[in-house]
């Protein structure tokens, strides 16, 4: 199941991070993910 989440986060990163110099979705180890604006 966690691999499925990782794959969809990858898809989201590909779409969301286009045009930005730094990634918006950050991985918080042991917690999950967060979006920084």
Domain range list for the chain: 3-35
On the question of pLDDT at 36 being above 80, the answer is yes
Instruction: Please report which helix (H) or strand (E) contains residue 33, including its range.
Output: strand 32-35
Rounded CA-CA distance 6/20 in Å is 21
List, for residues 12-25, the tens digit of each pLDDT value.
999 998 888 899 99
CA distances from 10 to 1, 30 (A): 15, 18
CA distances from 18 to 5, 12, 29, 30 (A): 20, 10, 24, 26
pTM as predicted: 0.68
List, for residues 1-11, the tens digit of each pLDDT value.
679 989 999 99
């Amino acid at each position: 199941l966690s691999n499925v989440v990782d794959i969809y986060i990858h898809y989201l990163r590909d779409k969301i991070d286009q045009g930005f110099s730094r990634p918006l979705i950050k991985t918080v180890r042991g917690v999950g993910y967060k979006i920084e604006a």
